[in-house]
Structure 1
């Protein structure tokens, strides 16, 4: 039985995808498979790699005649998945095949569960770092049922958001049952993925249709950032503009919701908001009362900026967009504060359920190596069932 299909869509970053695959296939488990969705200009590197690896747990979808948009490359993956559950990660990320054990235990305890996600961990590849990086991992290990109403408030009403919604129940660094994914397709325009921001679109659709959402505090994957990734644009404004330009070109220039005057170039909050507003507009969903939470997230986006001049520029741009959208009353709710202090060392240690530490610790050279290091610090996956039995 194939419990899980791990999908890795990739475009011209073959070496990162290969690194992730090699480490995953080192697992002795036989209840998962890896499906590579190659969208690269040159098909040979991954074709040769898959052929030489000769592992039945690894399969490849070769490039089409012309490069696909990101969402179209994602779209072609689910029909080829053999797993009961499906997850998608980036090629510079890593996912532990021991997720299969967590899914097995969850299915045994909560058979109706159809959406599963876990705690977050982040790693910037050494070649993408320009300074010392402090990362953090959650140290809890509770397995929890998440109330759908709470998830709706988090996603669509921006409740508790810092700079983006605090809801992670989608297919990207999450796992969805294949039958849920099929319900998503048949409910929403006969497609799994429609929007260029496919990960947040997936969260919108999952929150709407999932029957039972289960969250495990323990991280099971790593969000990687290499110098060529889209997430690198969150760290460097110039890189961000280049990534947005490329996405516009592959989507015929249209990636925003209508009548929503927040340029996606402003930052992650504006980008995610356009995805949510696009979803609501496309499917006739009207909601009231989310505006204040969104405005607070806009302020949070500004407060992530370390450079004072860049902070002022971003604050002014968000304020202009908020005024154009909601008028002076809305602007009064927008109060970002410049908080960066270069004279205070970044905190390292345990606080608020997270361990904060130097990302370079252990000398990890990639996302998989980083995961192997933090895996030794965390609650063992293999003990999940026995812990639940004791509880």
Structure 2
């Protein structure tokens, strides 16, 4: 390997060994030597991954962090992954995800043209693993061929203001399916809590901290990774109220506390069971409160709109109705009901009977996620990549400011 790898890819895992093993195989299939891997197991039965990792013993690119004598909270498993990383940039993915190792070339090209670059993020694909497909789904692949600079002020404003009212805020500049320089991560550790990862919702916590620490951010419109969703993943369980409550109970037990009872939640009455939008806003509120940053003007109305849009993403009409009822009850009391008028849930469309679209629309290519018989995120990525511009042909527009899609 080089004296310092250009990129470290961290993959923390807990009790999802078959997916973890497939992800490891997919990553290591690329033989380039300027990428480091940190695989951190945190499972109840350590022997499964310990035995598997013997197959890759001796690969100089791999650092394996085995399970310890206790179950680690997610934040600790992620934190030790970053602690072990030595790459110039760090990327974090889930154990059922995939990232193109060759994104290191784009990092290198972009960094050469803009040496001050701190963060590079890219468009992503989505994939439901076989066994987690309650209905037919499509995959959207961005056809954007540009690589752009994004002013930090723009990224900060969009994320914390909930501009546009989408269920998840725009400008997700962080290490989860992105690449953040180790220099910035070390600054975060020094500045916030003496840890790389501090809050239990680790991916969005990192976004908050990157947006106030990094200086030069770059966005690539082309996809370079796949957000996988297996039957055991959190993303597979956030669309039904009962599963959300079950996951919260597990999360509370393993974290050692219920984050809904944290002191900062006293003036932010949006509990975790309401869903992902509420959880993200919790992280933002925790971060702003703990570290003394001011909220963005007007964020409350945009957040209320986001909550209304998020309800339609629930799995069933019943779960949709529960989410609406829960949000409406909170908004009716929060700030004296001032923002209730901005909470306008859209009509629920049953995903099992909704329109299924393939083709090109709004600079995106929509495909059946079962296209070509793909069985893993890596297979999907390599199939879709054949239809997209090659990474080498991407246009670097780093002197052109841009708002990420």
TM bucket normalised to smaller: over 0.9
1:276 corresponds to which residue?
A: 284
1:359 corresponds to which residue?
A: 369
CA shift for structure 1 position 84: 0.7
CA shift for structure 1 position 314: 1.6
Give distance in 2, aligned partners of 1:344 and 1:205: 38
Give distance in 2, aligned partners of 1:281 and 1:237: 28
1:20-41 CA distance string (max 9 Å, x none):
1111111131110111011112
Question: Does the CA contact (< 8 Å) of 1:200 and 1:272 recur in 2?
Answer: yes
**Quick one: which of 30, 42, 46 aligns to 1:43?**
46
TM-score, scaled to structure 1: 0.95
1:332 corresponds to which residue?
A: 341
Runs of 4+ displaced beyond 4 Å: 341-344
Question: Does the CA contact (< 8 Å) of 1:306 and 1:340 recur in 2?
Answer: no
2:16 corresponds to which residue?
A: 13
Q: Within 5 A, what are the aligned runs for 1:189-208?
A: 189-208=193-212
CA shift for structure 1 position 232: 1.0
**Quick one: which of 252, 257, 265 aligns to 1:258?**
265
1:140-189 CA distance string (max 9 Å, x none):
12101011111111111111241011122111111111010000010111
Matched, 1:183 2:187: yes
Larger CA deviation: 158-167 vs 97-106: 158-167
Distance verdict in 2 for CA 1:292–1:61, change over 3 Å = same
CA shift for structure 1 position 131: 1.5
Distance verdict in 2 for CA 1:131–1:190, change over 3 Å = same
1:377 corresponds to which residue?
A: 387
CA shift for structure 1 position 48: 2.4
1:349 corresponds to which residue?
A: 359
1:330-363 CA distance string (max 9 Å, x none):
1112111214267652222111121112111111
Give distance in 2, aligned partners of 1:313 and 1:235: 11
Distance verdict in 2 for CA 1:334–1:236, change over 3 Å = closer
- RMSD of the alignment, in Å? 1.9
1:82 corresponds to which residue?
A: 86
Q: Within 5 A, what are the aligned runs for 1:1-391?
A: 1=2, 2-54=5-57, 55-256=59-260, 257-259=264-266, 260-287=268-295, 288-305=297-314, 307-340=316-349, 345-384=355-394
Question: Does the CA contact (< 8 Å) of 1:106 and 1:113 recur in 2?
Answer: yes
CA shift for structure 1 position 193: 0.9
Larger CA deviation: 251-260 vs 359-368: 251-260
Larger CA deviation: 302-311 vs 358-367: 302-311
Larger CA deviation: 32-41 vs 375-384: 375-384
Distance verdict in 2 for CA 1:84–1:237, change over 3 Å = same
TM-score, scaled to structure 2: 0.92
Larger CA deviation: 255-264 vs 176-185: 255-264
Give distance in 2, aligned partners of 1:179 and 1:314: 41
Give distance in 2, aligned partners of 1:235 and 1:154: 25
The SS at the match of 2:394 is helix
1:61-91 CA distance string (max 9 Å, x none):
1112101000110111122112111111000
Segments of 5+ residues of structure 2 without an aligned counterpart are 401-405
1:188-237 CA distance string (max 9 Å, x none):
11111111100000000001111101000111110000011111112333
Question: Does the CA contact (< 8 Å) of 2:239 and 2:314 recur in 1?
Answer: no
